[in-house]
Structure 1
Amino acid sequence: MDIEEWEQRHAEAFYNAKEALPYLDGMFVAYNSNIDAIRHLTEEDLSKLVGFFDESDIQDRVAAYPREIAEPLDFVARLLISMREGKAAEVPAYTADIHEWLKEHLGFDYARMGGQAGIISNLLGRLGLKKVVAYVPWLSEEQAEYFTATGNILHPKVENGKVLLKPPGEAFKPGIGSKVNWILEYSKDMNVTCAGNTFKVPRDNRLIISSRPKWLRLDMDKQIYEQLDTLLPVDGAMLSGYQMIKEEYEDGSTYKDYVENSVKVIEKLKSLNPELRIHVELTSIQNRLIRKAILTEIVARHVHSLGLDTVEVANALNVLGHEELSYSVIRKGENGIMSLYQGAVQLMKDLDLERVHVHSLGFYICILAKGHPLTLKEHRDSLLFSSVLAAAQALNGNIENLAEAEAGLEVPVSSIGLEDLENFQLYCTGRKLCTPDEFEYGYVYGSEHDAILIPSKVVERPKATVGIGDTISAGAFVAMLAKIKQKHSGK
């Protein structure tokens, strides 16, 4: 596989997608947004945090692997685990105590829009789409300020029994609190010492302390649900935030109520526009019952597309009963990409999806059901477009518009990602899944599905890592929808 050829393909794909985007009428994005308080950790910061506790207590808590942040010691333990493995993690906190402790003992560098739906809405707004309808059940006045003021981002608001689309700054709920998450970013090669153990951080990544206040409900206002047609026209929906669903609530309701309501929204959207395609963006979900319910009751059979990273593939496979394959994905090793491919195929089968998009460092895999309305090249172009967007995001920390996104074209294609794909080529050709010539284009033709694998652009020292996965998934999904609309228009 020639790296220069992939550079050229990225450029061609970027401009093809840029030309197609104006064909879209709009996108609907829900449910989760929050305010991210971001701190880039130094070795001095880490030493200070460890110094607040007895190191043997930290070691014991690391071994216990806390699943939620109930006190500061849980936070330090999960931070060390994340740094040791170099893996992103998102851990819930159900009280404001840890927020207050971090403000007092650490502080943040800056704050910005957070939450998958918030990040995706701002990205799509900046890409110049005609209309981006964002919906956040807990839109506070403070939260509304973090939506970008591009004029094309709108939020439903009930006035005199009617649903109107208004800029977020005019659509918030008075008196509601804000959801604030902490993003602790760390860098590759940081030295970490605790309880006599020393290690180097293997890669840039982050730990997210996800605020889950008791008043949080992942639901849709009844009047907005009844008047969902006011959101139209939209070509696609990107839904996320389901990880915030809890098993039980203080009022006696359970996760089943919120799962059922979520499915009703999806089914109503599809009934209003049978051509509408729906994508769910997965994230880290600690609770196995909720993780399985999201996959088997919300995603399976109801949506078209699923976006996730390597860890999320492993976690999904695990709750669906594929423990051995899950372990193989998470363990990586020299056959890691083969396991990831097999895992993505398994998710497509189990969940009856049209499309599964996996983003991994250095390459993306997209599994497609037979009969999809685009050619493999057109799908590949959408993935390459998202690779350019992600590179621009990592390079500059954000993307203000499509012109700025072109900066991603200057970022080199990952040689490590290319090497992973070359290893996968041996696997594919050995099993006669594709010919060497087909794989040079990134294509795998299967009897029940097709697949595309591309090497992606990777920034060696990213300004920020939060939101890059959302940028990849949203960029690819919206470019795909734009191409479908462009083809239907006959241009």
Structure 2
Amino acid sequence: MDIDEWEKRYSMAFSSISEILDNINGVFVAYNSNVDAIKHVSEKDIHKLISIVGAKAVQQKVTEYPREIQDPVDLVARLVIAMRDGKAAEVPTYTADTHKWLMDNMVFDKARMGGQAGIISNLLSNLGVNNVITYVPWLSKEQAEYFVDAPNLKYPVIENGVLRLKHPHDAYDVNQLPKINWIFEFSKGTKVEYDGEIFEVPRDNRLIISSRPPWLRIDMSEQLYDQIPHMNGMIDGAILSGYQMIKEKYEDGTTYHDYVKKAVDVIKRLKEGSPDMRIHVEFTSIQNKVIRRTILKDIVHKHASSLGLDTVEVANALNVLGHEELAYAVISKGENSISALYEGAVKLLCELKLERVHIHSLGFYICVASKDFPLTVEEHRDALMFSSTLAAAQALHGDIGSLEEGGTGLGVPISERGHDDLEQLEKYLVRRDVCTGTEFEDGCVCALNHDLIVIPTKVVQDPVATVGIGDTISAGAFAAILAMIRKKGAEDRGS
């Protein structure tokens, strides 16, 4: 299908999904939100940071590839690595000294809502989803201020043993400290020079320094846990994220096993009385391989319905599941990387017992779904195009204030490079007898044991910001799917 035909399909998909979004009763969103301190890193900025900590020290740390930020040299080294590779990354820091050092040496440009659950909650509220029930265990006054002031956005609290839904502005803990992450955004073409090394940043992207204070727990009070089933009539699905904050060991003697069990118990509780409720887990960069594997095997496996990831996260997931060679092929820059991405998606779908795996890459999305998924491949394609339109609007404006504003993404052109990349995947699939070229033409393929949906995406050449685009993609597609499932259910009952 040529790009002009894809553009027509985009317009129809966005229009059709927009008309049925209010079919959704509601969505539960948890766990992670924080305040993002955003800094766009210039050549002058990176030179200043390197000069403060020392170029030779940075070179040594770059070689060591620190997995967490313990001191300023770790931080600068990981920033250099992210800029060199042009790849998004998230690295934890467990000390407040990191934030203090940054405040002393690097003034941020602006602050905004951060964290997957926080960003997704605001997005769905602004799109007009009826009930967006957001939950973050560490809701401080500062954090609450970054939630949009919308009547459909609600936060669960227990008053006199009864579940109440209030706006986050009226539900925060006055004693709770805020969680602040630093987001370093950098632009293609920025030059970096240190200790005899020189390179230019290959693409726009960002590094997230994720604050992990000791009080940070993916948890829920017993009272709220007991009341979860009371939300079931108000929600059709849940989007869960933030599991990357689980630690192997805690100061009080608890371990990751304790918090993984709690996470699974919440999912089971959500499904009580609604066994068909869709649960989407939004994955992210997880440095600790034990935690990464545990999240996939013990939380996502069998308990989630849907998984959202980017290319690097697919490789990370495959690596800890024992598919090292395929993981390497996914992140390689050769012509086989897109076919490896498809094969990786199929492995995740089958091994984790999921209904769908949605992968977003620059220029295209790949989604594989189980054969018994309640939507047709064409409907699933509409969901992906709806989410791509929202992502383009997010990149254009830095935020989406309404469904109408989300529609401005239709004016962004489809990526020619993404369109060409899909041709490589087509050749691979035809060679493997997965489908014919004609069957691949419209992005909808019914393979032997799964469905495949692929689309070229709309890409903004100079995005206002990159933070939150992946969350917008996954949440937009998942919301579209919930709306279509609700519509089908109503039609079936009517017939």
What TM-score range do you get, normalising by the shorter chain?
over 0.9
Q: How many Å apart are 1:353 and its aligned residue?
A: 0.6
Deviations 1:37-76 (A, max 9, x none): 0001111111111110221111001111111111111000
Equivalent position amino acid for 1:39 in 2: K
Does the 8 Å contact 1:165/1:231 carry over to 2?
no
Q: Which residue of 1 aligns with 2:435?
A: 434
Alpha-carbon distance in structure 1 between the residues aligned to 2:78 and 2:162: 46
Q: Which residue of 1 aligns with 2:422?
A: 421
Alpha-carbon distance in structure 1 between the residues aligned to 2:479 and 2:333: 30
Does the 8 Å contact 2:229/2:272 carry over to 1?
no
Q: Which residue of 2 aligns with 1:180?
A: 180
Alpha-carbon distance in structure 2 between the residues aligned to 1:286 and 1:481: 32
Alpha-carbon distance in structure 2 between the residues aligned to 1:161 and 1:107: 45
1:71 aligns with 2:65: no
Q: How many Å apart are 1:423 and its aligned residue?
A: 1.1
Alpha-carbon distance in structure 2 between the residues aligned to 1:80 and 1:54: 13
Question: Which deviates more from structure 2 when the two are superposed, residues 411-420 or residues 47-56?
Answer: 47-56
What is the DSSP-based 3-state SS (H/G/I as helix, E as strand, rest coil) of the residue aligned with 2:220?
coil
1:48 aligns with 2:48: yes
Q: Which residue of 1 aligns with 2:475?
A: 474
Q: Which residue of 2 aligns with 1:152?
A: 152
When the two chains are superposed, the root-mean-square deviation of aligned CA atoms in Å is 0.9
Where do 1:25-40 residues align within 5 Å?
Answer: 25-40=25-40
Alpha-carbon distance in structure 2 between the residues aligned to 1:45 and 1:161: 52
Equivalent position amino acid for 2:77 in 1: A
Q: Which residue of 1 aligns with 2:291?
A: 290
Question: Which deviates more from structure 2 when the two are superposed, residues 424-433 or residues 77-86?
Answer: 424-433
1:452 aligns with 2:453: yes
Q: Which residue of 2 aligns with 1:354?
A: 355
Alpha-carbon distance in structure 2 between the residues aligned to 1:158 and 1:195: 57
What is the DSSP-based 3-state SS (H/G/I as helix, E as strand, rest coil) of the residue aligned with 1:460?
coil
Q: Which residue of 1 aligns with 2:392?
A: 391
Alpha-carbon distance in structure 1 between the residues aligned to 2:288 and 2:204: 26
Q: Which residue of 2 aligns with 1:230?
A: 230
Q: How many Å apart are 1:330 and its aligned residue?
A: 1.3
Does the 8 Å contact 1:425/1:439 carry over to 2?
yes
Where do 1:297-376 residues align within 5 Å?
Answer: 297-376=298-377
Alpha-carbon distance in structure 2 between the residues aligned to 1:426 and 1:150: 47
What is the DSSP-based 3-state SS (H/G/I as helix, E as strand, rest coil) of the residue aligned with 1:274?
coil
Does the 8 Å contact 2:383/2:476 carry over to 1?
yes
Alpha-carbon distance in structure 1 between the residues aligned to 2:60 and 2:379: 51
Alpha-carbon distance in structure 2 between the residues aligned to 1:332 and 1:266: 37
Alpha-carbon distance in structure 1 between the residues aligned to 2:348 and 2:435: 21
Q: How many Å apart are 1:220 and its aligned residue?
A: 1.1
What is the DSSP-based 3-state SS (H/G/I as helix, E as strand, rest coil) of the residue aligned with 2:29?
strand
Does the 8 Å contact 2:377/2:445 carry over to 1?
no
1:400 aligns with 2:408: no
Does the 8 Å contact 1:277/1:304 carry over to 2?
yes
Equivalent position amino acid for 1:105 in 2: N
Alpha-carbon distance in structure 2 between the residues aligned to 1:406 and 1:217: 37
Alpha-carbon distance in structure 2 between the residues aligned to 1:131 and 1:80: 42
Equivalent position amino acid for 2:207 in 1: L
Equivalent position amino acid for 2:135 in 1: Y
Where do 1:179-218 residues align within 5 Å?
Answer: 179-218=179-218
Alpha-carbon distance in structure 2 between the residues aligned to 1:177 and 1:205: 29
Q: Which residue of 1 aligns with 2:487?
A: 486
Alpha-carbon distance in structure 1 between the residues aligned to 2:87 and 2:468: 15
Alpha-carbon distance in structure 1 between the residues aligned to 2:249 and 2:346: 33
Q: Which residue of 1 aligns with 2:277?
A: 276
Deviations 1:193-244 (A, max 9, x none): 0111110100000000000000111111110100112323100100000000
Does the 8 Å contact 1:392/1:405 carry over to 2?
yes
Equivalent position amino acid for 1:228 in 2: I
1:102 aligns with 2:91: no
Does the 8 Å contact 2:400/2:406 carry over to 1?
yes
Q: What TM-score, normalized to structure 2?
A: 0.98
What is the DSSP-based 3-state SS (H/G/I as helix, E as strand, rest coil) of the residue aligned with 1:227?
helix
Q: How many Å apart are 1:272 and its aligned residue?
A: 2.9
Does the 8 Å contact 2:53/2:72 carry over to 1?
no
Q: How many Å apart are 1:161 and its aligned residue?
A: 2.0
Question: Which deviates more from structure 2 when the two are superposed, residues 160-169 or residues 113-122?
Answer: 160-169
What is the DSSP-based 3-state SS (H/G/I as helix, E as strand, rest coil) of the residue aligned with 2:272?
helix
Alpha-carbon distance in structure 2 between the residues aligned to 1:331 and 1:292: 22
Q: Which residue of 1 aligns with 2:378?
A: 377
What is the DSSP-based 3-state SS (H/G/I as helix, E as strand, rest coil) of the residue aligned with 1:483?
helix
What is the DSSP-based 3-state SS (H/G/I as helix, E as strand, rest coil) of the residue aligned with 1:260?
helix
Alpha-carbon distance in structure 2 between the residues aligned to 1:95 and 1:163: 35
Deviations 1:432-457 (A, max 9, x none): 21121221110222111111010000
Q: What TM-score, normalized to structure 1?
A: 0.99
**Identity across the alignment (%):** 59
5+ residue gaps, structure 1: none
Deviating beyond 6 angstroms after TM superposition, the runs of 4 or more aligned structure 1 residues are none
Does the 8 Å contact 1:308/1:357 carry over to 2?
yes
What is the DSSP-based 3-state SS (H/G/I as helix, E as strand, rest coil) of the residue aligned with 2:157?
strand
Does the 8 Å contact 2:282/2:309 carry over to 1?
yes
Alpha-carbon distance in structure 2 between the residues aligned to 1:274 and 1:352: 15
Q: Which residue of 2 aligns with 1:4?
A: 4
Q: Which residue of 1 aligns with 2:264?
A: 263
Does the 8 Å contact 1:31/1:239 carry over to 2?
yes
Does the 8 Å contact 1:86/1:203 carry over to 2?
yes
Equivalent position amino acid for 1:454 in 2: I
Alpha-carbon distance in structure 2 between the residues aligned to 1:161 and 1:484: 34
Alpha-carbon distance in structure 2 between the residues aligned to 1:201 and 1:281: 27
Alpha-carbon distance in structure 1 between the residues aligned to 2:366 and 2:201: 26
Does the 8 Å contact 2:84/2:199 carry over to 1?
yes
Does the 8 Å contact 2:342/2:366 carry over to 1?
yes
What is the DSSP-based 3-state SS (H/G/I as helix, E as strand, rest coil) of the residue aligned with 2:181?
strand
Where do 1:107-186 residues align within 5 Å?
Answer: 107-186=107-186
Does the 8 Å contact 1:164/1:230 carry over to 2?
no
Alpha-carbon distance in structure 2 between the residues aligned to 1:445 and 1:229: 36
Does the 8 Å contact 2:26/2:133 carry over to 1?
yes
Equivalent position amino acid for 2:67 in 1: R
What is the DSSP-based 3-state SS (H/G/I as helix, E as strand, rest coil) of the residue aligned with 2:183?
strand
Alpha-carbon distance in structure 1 between the residues aligned to 2:214 and 2:336: 43
Q: How many Å apart are 1:372 and its aligned residue?
A: 1.1
Alpha-carbon distance in structure 2 between the residues aligned to 1:195 and 1:6: 48
Alpha-carbon distance in structure 1 between the residues aligned to 2:231 and 2:179: 25
